[in-house]
Amino acid sequence: MLDNHSQTDRQSQIAQSYDAHFNHLREVYDRALDNHRFESLIVYSGAIKKQFQDDIQYPFFVNLQFKAIVPLCDAPESWVIWKPSEKPLLLLFQPDDFWHETPELPSTFWSSYFKIIPLREKEDAQKYFGNTKHCAFLGESNESINSWDLGQHNHEAFIAELNWYRSYKTQYEKCCVAEANHITVQGHAAAREAFYSGASELEIALAFQQACQQPEEQLAFASIIGINEHAGILHYSGRDINRIAGDKRRSFLIDAGATYNGYAADTCRTYAYRDDGLFAEMISALDAAQQAIIKGLKAGTQYIDNHALAMRQLATLLKDFGIVNLEPDSVVELDIIKYFMPHNVSHFLGLQVHDVGGNQADICGTLIDSNEPKHKMRRAIEANHILTVEPGIYFIDTLLKSLAQSEHRNVIGWDRIEQLKPYGGMRIEDNILITKDGPVNVTRYAFNELSAKSNTRKIV
């Protein structure tokens, strides 16, 4: 998967792997239709929405069930019609519209696998649907198609079966995630240099986007760009336009990812403005802990066991730096760790940043833990899974206030916490492919390759 180094070689590998990927889709979708007694499948790409009482459009985000079949992310009001053993139809909406750009008929490595039909009017799609009595429909309905006969909408058991198989990535999908990582690390390198050059959060976000060469709606998610205390806001969405002087510049957290053919990268790094000092030492310790966590992700292990080991790694870090004055096992058993690490260590990655199937016990959609969302990780780790590993340590006022009011307040190094609070927090995240021979760090591979080519500052 990671043998070819040039962008041309990598993209050639992606094209060459598509045939096997499409044959895999054929097997999965044909079987799912048969299992649930459907004769055909209709998938809607979605509609462009307008702001309330306005004619300004929201950015278009394609239905993930559409891009799961066809790697086309900017084709609103389009359709895929899938029937067992037949070449699927791609109905591509191409209206006569001088106000907006319309998608062109694709001519690329995957085009020949579909019968592509241009649509001039939305309503023309209906004549291709055929008899929908035993048809499954996947997508979001809206006023323009509410009255259409589309079959059974979003059948849960049918979707659960598709989700189960989506958690096992084909070679094509692995290559797409790897390419998204190659694009992402270019953005991360530009963002890091912007931070050390004194840029504002907004300027850093733009530097990331410029280096990735992707418009904001094409990125995997809205980039998290946090300087100083903002690094402790887990999903910080601000874009402070003010530059912070060097003597007040302490820390920088970036959680950001690009996409490729609809597949996401999700990568986080944290930097100290000064290379020495307590916070910089903690980042190095967190990096070592993260690498130890990744080594434990082997096919056949249980995620929940790996998560427990990860919590002990972080508890050891807290003790080593005088943040908690207890043995690591006690920090975990007393659940003190949650005040410093309040999120999961991993989630599946693919067509979605938080990809599906992580809490699924079987093909039927039974949840391993009914109290957790479907995308939360609870599964056994298996070959061909791709997941993130993102441990963090944070100093968040809301959580620290609760800790100060708890029975554990006397075992906390409050002086050390006050010293670290202005830095906000830290998180390091890589994207990991599970193979039968062990975990492969797709993100580090891309970072190391970029560093070797450009002699950029070494990235943890």
What is the average pLDDT across 406-425?
Answer: 97
Domain end among 154, 177, 207: 154
CA atoms 60, 140, 376, 417: torsion sign: positive
| pLDDT at position 101 | 76
What local confidence, expressed as pLDDT, does residue 455 receive?
61
Classify the phi-psi angles of 334: left when phi > 0, otherwise alpha if psi is within -120 to 50, otherwise beta.
alpha
Q: Are 336 and 403 in contact (CB under 8 A)?
A: yes
Q: Domain of 347: which CATH number?
A: 3.90.230.10
Tokens for 288?
Answer: 């070592």
Is residue 160 in some structural domain?
no
Are 109 and 83 in contact by the 8 Å Cβ rule? The answer is: no
The answer to whether residues 87 and 216 belong to one domain is: no
Helical segments of 47-152, H only: 64-67
- 124 with 189, same domain: the answer is no
- Which among 105, 114, 110 is positioned nearest to 81, based on CA atoms? 114
Among 94, 126, 154, the domain boundary falls at 154
Is 179 inside any structural domain? yes
Contact 303/368 with Cβ under 8 angstroms? no
Amino acid at the residue 113: Y
Q: Could you give the dihedral angle defined by the CA atoms of residues 441, 443, 446 and 450, in that order, rounded to the nearest 10 degrees?
A: -130
What's the pLDDT at 96? 83
Domain extent at residue 264: 168-454
Same-domain status, 104 and 216: no
Per-chain mean pLDDT for the chain: 95
Q: Which of 103, 110, 86, 395 is nearest to 251 (CA)?
A: 395
Name the amino acid, one letter, at 235.
Answer: H
Query: pLDDT at position 380, please?
Result: 95
Amino acid at 10: R
The CA distance from 66 to 44, in Å, is: 6
* Sheet of strand 267-272: strand arrangement: 224-227, 251-256, 267-272
Domain count, the chain: 2
| Nearest-angstrom CA–CA distance, 45 and 48 | 10
Among 109, 100, 36, residue whose Cα is nearest residue 70: 109
**In 3-state terms, what secondary structure has residue 219?**
coil
Q: Is 4 domain-assigned?
A: no
d(CA 34, CA 285): 52
Same domain assignment for residues 182 and 136: no
- Global confidence as pTM: 0.95
411-420 burial by CB neighbour count: b if 16+ within 10 A, else e? Answer: ebbeebbebb
pLDDT tens profile 17-74 = 999 999 999 999 999 999 999 999 999 999 999 999 998 999 999 999 999 999 999 9
Mean pLDDT of 182-197: 98
Number of residues in the chain: 460
Least Cα distance to 221 among 193, 169, 259 occurs for 259
Residue 147 sits in a domain of what CATH number?
3.40.350.10
**Contact indicator for 187, 225 with CB cutoff of 8 Å:** no
- Whether residue 457 is predicted with pLDDT greater than 80 in this model: the reply is no
The gap from C-alpha 153 to its chain's centroid, in whole angstroms, comes to: 26
- pLDDT for residue 228 is more than 80: yes
- Looking at the fold, whether 135 and 176 belong to one and the same domain comes out as no
Separation of CA 144 from chain center: 31
Residue 177 and residue 133 share a domain: no
pLDDT of residue 100: 75
Are residues 236 and 144 part of one domain? no
| 127 shares its domain with 198 | no
- Taking residues 349-359, what's their average pLDDT? 96
For 253-271, write each residue's pLDDT tens digit: 999 999 999 999 999 999 9
Most confident of 5-9, 143-147, 162-166: 162-166
Both 124 and 203 in one domain: the answer is no
Q: 336 with 450, same domain?
A: yes
- Please compute the mean of the pLDDT values over residues 115-126 and round it to a whole number: 96
Residue 23 in any domain: the answer is no
Last residue of a domain, one of 128, 154, 180: 154
Confidence of residue 208 (pLDDT cuts 50, 70, 90): very high
